[in-house]
Amino acid sequence: MNIMKLQLFSFAILIVILISGFGMKSQKQAQHDKNLKITFIKKEAKKKVDVIIDGKFFTSFCWYDNVYRPMLYPVCTSIGTVITRGFPLLPREGEQVDHPHQVGLWLNYGNVNGCDFWDNGESGSRDPKGGEVIHLEIKKLSGGKGEGILVSRESWIDPSGKELLEENTEYHFIAKGSTRIIDRITTLTAKSDTIFMKDTKDGMYGIRVARQLELPYEGSRTLITAEGKPSTVKSSSHEGVSGNFKSSEGMTGDAAWGTRARWMDLYGNIGDEKISLVMCDHPENPGYPTYWMARGYGLLAANPLGVKDFTRGKEELNFLIPAGASATFRYRVVINSGSQLTKAEIDAFADDFAKKYE
């Protein structure tokens, strides 16, 4: 009996030690997260601001002349792996050469008073009917421990040069262990005219990802060769393609396209690194929960305004912003390195996002 009591006592002590150790580890991790420093390096001549986390490059806020809108490019994981496609600015071997307007992480829309801001021309050659989002100023750069904030102002202009919308955007760059978070809060204000944003699938907050995070497919694709030239190859030649979609509502793969959900996870591997790229909608956004442009060729976009296309004409929204009025769109991107996030983990990120910007 005494031996049994001793064994039980020893087991209890072991449990206490394990729990205490876990608590100490959690406290240390929390302290480490708070100490991850976010800094900004403004490079006005190169038309970009670099975002540095814990001494490592994370992304750049760019306003290049040949892209026709500001964007974050490239975007990396916590260990420095680039998750965005390089083409057409910095093509990498094996990348697809379709949709040259899909560069980095950006926000715009395909029908704003009849102007296409989404498919607004190839690199270096703007579509005559396309709109342009012109960067005007960096209003605020605030580095810090665990979170840094960049605030910018932009102008959405039509082909004649008339300003349709004024944009004010806050970017919150957040670091937690091996996870990187980008919160974007964009307010669009109609200037002299009412702004009609008619339904189209081409929008709104999108990211074009690296080749490895595309979904496997049948058929052929045109890829960049080692010599830097495009070449058409069959799907059997597509090694290392490992991506897949998973929505908060349980939709997966290509079936996720055009469905509504509070978040969408694009997960896969780049080399040996497991990656989850999650985009979250916000409950106060127009059209919540958003529709998703989840394309197997490497596009992930939240589009709350393309109702007619996504419902195949059964419903229609035709969103508008009256002259002088504003509409705000809030989105969170979570980039996790080393593991693919579970539904419970993603739900926690989405819940935190909803509460943070109520």
Q: How far apart are CA 246 and CA 241, in angstroms?
A: 16
pLDDT attached to residue 16: 45
Q: What is the CATH number of the domain that holds 85?
A: 2.70.98
Q: Is residue 6 included in any domain, yes or no?
A: no
Q: Is residue 322 included in any domain, yes or no?
A: yes
Q: Is residue 174 included in any domain, yes or no?
A: yes
Q: What is the mean pLDDT, run by run of 10 residues, along the chain of 358 residues?
A: 52 48 54 80 98 98 94 98 95 89 96 94 70 97 97 96 97 98 98 97 98 86 66 66 97 97 98 98 98 96 98 97 98 97 98 96
Q: Is residue 5 included in any domain, yes or no?
A: no
Judge whether 237 and 216 are in contact, CB under 8 Å: no
pLDDT attached to residue 7: 54
Q: Is residue 8 included in any domain, yes or no?
A: no
How many Cα atoms are found within 13 Å in the side-chain-facing hemisphere of 105?
Answer: 25
As given in the structure block, the two tokens for residue 1 are: 């009996």
Q: Is residue 25 included in any domain, yes or no?
A: no
As given in the structure block, the two tokens for residue 162 are: 């008339």
Q: Is residue 22 included in any domain, yes or no?
A: no
Count how many domains the chain has: 1
Phi, psi of 204, deg, nearest 5? -125, -45
Q: What's the whole-model pTM score?
A: 0.89
Q: Kindly report whether the peptide bond that precedes residue 289 is cis, defined as omega within 30 degrees of 0.
A: yes
Environment class of 290 (CB within 10 Å of its CB; exposed 0-12, middle 13-18, buried 19+): buried
Give the range of the structural domain holding residue 84, as residue numbers without chain letter.
36-356
Q: Is residue 30 included in any domain, yes or no?
A: no
